[in-house]
Amino acid sequence: MELTAKKSSIFLIGFMGAGKSTIGKKLAHRLGLTFFDLDKLIEAKAGCSISDIFKFLGESTFREMELACLQTFQTENNFLLACGGGTPCFFDNLRFMKDNGLVIYVDLQESILFERLSKAKKIRPSIIGLDENQLKEFISNQLQARMPFYEQADLSMSGLSININGIVEQIELFAH
């Protein structure tokens, strides 16, 4: 499949645990795009984990690193970038993504996010140490705050039933 010049790159956005990396790898392979995970790129550049960045340098430093890493894609084409859950919500990142590619929101219900994140609390810096009720409240509050950004995506897809062919069809329709 061939995408139009401006839309030859794809940014996946959505809440942590929605499946952006898993879906992104499959979708990039299907479309013949190079796959990147923004958090992995930040970790490689920093030489430490996202958890350590949050712990020792703070979220604001992480967000600045995220912005710098995201902007390296301004001159790139033919890639799919799985972004962090908060990426579109800071600075003017969402505008940057929309100006430089196709933005797809990976949507997932709160209950499924809770189920997935309950199993990943030790590796996700913003939810380390939260009990069950705190995690539910965190997910609900963060989703509410981030939804105005997520809803601005060019396309939306479910993070639950991965239908790569279906999303490829949506991308083809959108790109032409």
4 in helix, strand or coil? coil
Structure tokens at 174: 């959108």
Alpha-carbon gap, residue 119 to 51, rounded angstroms: 16
CATH architecture of 10-167: 3-Layer(aba) Sandwich (3.40)
**Between the CA of residue 142 and those of 43, 85, 136, what are the distances in Å?**
23, 10, 10
Alpha-carbon gap, residue 30 to 23, rounded angstroms: 11
Q: Residue ranges of the domains in the chain?
A: 10-167
**pLDDT tens digits, one per residue of 35-57:** 999 999 999 999 999 989 998 99
Structure tokens at 175: 């790109």
- Residue 102, phi then psi, degrees to nearest 5: -95, 130
* Sheet arrangement for strand 34-37: 34-37, 79-82, 10-13, 102-107, 155-158
**pLDDT tens digits, one per residue of 135-175:** 999 999 999 999 999 999 999 998 887 788 888 888 888 77
**pLDDT tens digits, one per residue of 94-131:** 999 999 999 999 999 999 999 999 988 777 878 988 99
- If you ran DSSP here, which 8-state letter would residue 48 be given? S
- If you ran DSSP here, which 8-state letter would residue 124 be given? -
Alpha-carbon gap, residue 73 to 68, rounded angstroms: 9
- Quote the mean pLDDT of the chain: 91
